[in-house]
Amino acid sequence: MKKIKITQGMKQVKKLLWPETCPFCGKVYAEGLCPACRQTVEKLLVREPRCMKCGKPVRYKEQEFCSDCTRVRHIYDRGAALWIHKNPVSKSIYQFKYHNQRFYAEYYAEQFVWQYKELITGWAPQVILPVPLHARKRRNRGCNQAELLAEELGKRLKLPVCGNLVKRVRFTSPQKALDHTKRKKNLEQAFALSAPVRGLRRALIVDDIYTTGSTIDAVAKVLKQAGVQKVYFLTVSIGQGD
């Protein structure tokens, strides 16, 4: 009884010192997700019907792939994202990226489990791999946000996380300004494995944003060349496409 009281007291103190904030707009809100963001984010949640490849929403149930995946032959097998990359999701990811907050990683990981537990169980990945940052970028930013996300997800799914298996061997210029062909070129040979992967058959890559899929493909390529048979991905957000 006494012990419970102390724990509750600690929780109260913790709440006073670090009040809950909304993971989208950053405002202090006792329940975390604030009502305004709850409403907007609901609409941005990626729902069925989804593309069988990238997981992006498609217009019709009969539609197997989105128009992007009809055009591009991806190296990864399949993936899913939580939300469409629009405000306040984009704002949330920006905070996550540049403010090193485990808080966001925990929130996203919970959402992944809530929305995709069955899908992930079906994929049966043996390991979770964050998309690595180049050492220089990692130093500047203090940490790799994809790694935080992978760790939180690993804890909840009871899966091992291997943060340094895939490494970035070339410093790539920012992807934002490039079109698909240039992105692909930019990423070719950007990744390598730091160790052999004997026995690894199914891997799950984790990143914050899926834009064209070229980053996931580049990581999937080194894994498949090393004998991994299935490569899946999860990202916090995904571009809407058409």
Residue 29 or 154 having the CB closest to Zn ion: 29
Residue written as tokens 């494995």?
193
Residue 157 or 220 having the CB closest to Zn ion: 220
Q: Which of 34, 128, 146, 238 binds Zn ion (CB under 5 A)?
A: 34
Q: Which of 25, 113, 119, 226 binds Zn ion (CB under 5 A)?
A: 25
Strands (E) across 17-148 are located at: 78-84, 127-130
Residue 133 makes contact with Zn ion by CB under 5 A? no
- Residue 143: name the closest of 133, 154, 153 by CA: 133
Residue 50 makes contact with Zn ion by CB under 5 A? no
Residue 58 makes contact with Zn ion by CB under 5 A? no
- How many other C-beta atoms lie within 10 A of the C-beta of residue 102? 15
Please check whether residue 50 is in contact with residue 62, taking contact to mean a CB–CB distance below 8 angstroms: no
Distance (Å, whole) CA 105 – CA 103: 5
Q: Which of 41, 46, 51, 238 binds Zn ion (CB under 5 A)?
A: 51
CA 127 to chain centre: 14
Query: Nearest distance from residue 55's CB to Zn ion, in Å?
Result: 7
* H or E element that contains 30: none
Residue 24 makes contact with Zn ion by CB under 5 A? yes
Q: Which of 41, 44, 46, 54 binds Zn ion (CB under 5 A)?
A: 54
Q: DSSP letters of 86-103?
A: -TTHHHHHHHHHHS--HH
Residue 24 or 151 having the CB closest to Zn ion: 24
Binding residues vs Zn ion (CB under 5 A) = 22, 24-25, 34, 37, 51, 53-54, 56, 66, 69
